[in-house]
């Protein structure tokens, strides 16, 4: 998909903008949580 296709799709379906924003927000929170719990530090 080109940028123009995505822009046109979102212009035709404005409720999808909120859904995409929420999805990105949740994924960024899940990534931070996974990074915090998935690291081990060994040594001094």
16 inside domain: yes
18 inside domain: yes
43 inside domain: no
Does pLDDT of 27 surpass 70? yes
Average pLDDT over residues 5-14: 92
21 inside domain: yes
Does pLDDT of 37 surpass 70? no
Higher pLDDT, 30 or 17: 17
What residues contact 9, with CB distance under 8 A and at least 6 apart?
16
42 inside domain: no
9 inside domain: yes
With contact defined as beta carbons under 8 Å apart, do 16 and 10 qualify?
yes
If one counts the domains in the chain, the total is: 1
Range of the domain at 11: 3-37
15 inside domain: yes
pLDDT of residue 13: 93
Distance CA 40, CA 37 (A): 8
Residue 9 has which token pair?
A: 């799709």
Does pLDDT of 41 surpass 90? no
DSSP character at residue 44: -
Higher pLDDT, 16 or 44: 16
């Amino acid at each position: 998909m080109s940028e123009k296709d995505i822009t046109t799709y979102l212009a035709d379906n404005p409720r999808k903008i909120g859904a995409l924003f929420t999805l990105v927000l949740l994924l960024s929170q899940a990534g931070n949580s996974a990074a915090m719990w998935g690291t081990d530090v060994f040594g001094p």
